[in-house]
């Protein structure tokens, strides 16, 4: 199993650094974020040290993501959560500060004041078609 001794989440996986763990399986563990955006804000992380989502194979991603619905259900059942956000940052530019892959599960309630800047744009002439060609080509679709 790959591990980075300098990685804070690897040290949580090994038990070197304590955490408030709520769930674990052979692929990952869920624990409370130390700086919660909301009461019950969870992190779900793989046991292996990988940095970004695209470092996983499809099969590894499927294994890792399988418990996400279960974690979401627990939030709705136990917390006063009317909904929740699953947030997963890849790369510093996207807000990733801990370079060990993780999913945030953030409980949401009416009027909680959480949110992010979301300013939808529009594609200029030909740009959508160019993207379909480039991304579709790369994906073999
Ligand atoms: P990122 O910005 O990388 O997506 O989020 C990293 C998250 O990890 C932050 O929300 C931060 O509060 C959390 N975090 C960082 N260090 C620790 C730690 O030692 N323990 C726990 N439980 N959470 C941590
Ligand atoms: Zn790590």
Q: Give the per-residue pLDDT at 115.
A: 87
Ligand 1 contact via 96 beta carbon (within 6 Å): yes
Q: Domains in the chain, start-ordered, CATH in brackets?
A: 8-116 (3.30.428.10)
Burial class (CB in 10 A: 0-12, 13-18, 19+), 58: exposed
Model pTM? 0.96
Q: Give the per-residue pLDDT at 117.
A: 85
Taking the chain (141 residues) in runs of 10, the rounded mean pLDDT of each run is 95 98 98 98 98 98 98 95 97 98 97 91 98 96 68
Q: Give the per-residue pLDDT at 1.
A: 78
Nearest CA to ligand 1 atom 21: 34
Nearest CA to ligand 1 atom 19: 8
Pocket test of ligand 1: the residue of 97, 102, 107 to mutate, having most ligand atoms within 8 Å of its CB, is: 97
Q: Give the per-residue pLDDT at 11.
A: 98
């Amino acid at each position: 199993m790959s591990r980075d001794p300098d990685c804070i989440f690897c040290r949580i996986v090994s038990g070197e650094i304590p955490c408030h763990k709520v769930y674990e399986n052979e692929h990952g563990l869920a624990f409370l974020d130390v700086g919660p955006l909301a009461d019950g804000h969870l992190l779900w992380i793989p046991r292996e040290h990988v940095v970004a989502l695209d470092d996983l194979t499809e099969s590894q991603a499927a294994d890792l993501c399988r418990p996400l619905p279960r974690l979401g259900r627990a939030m709705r059942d136990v917390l006063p959560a009317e909904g929740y956000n699953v947030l997963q940052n890849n790369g510093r530019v996207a807000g990733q500060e801990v370079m060990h892959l993780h999913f945030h599960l953030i409980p949401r309630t009416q009027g909680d004041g959480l949110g992010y800047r979301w300013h939808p744009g529009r594609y200029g002439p030909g740009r959508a078609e160019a993207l379909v060609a480039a991304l579709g080509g790369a994906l073999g679709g």
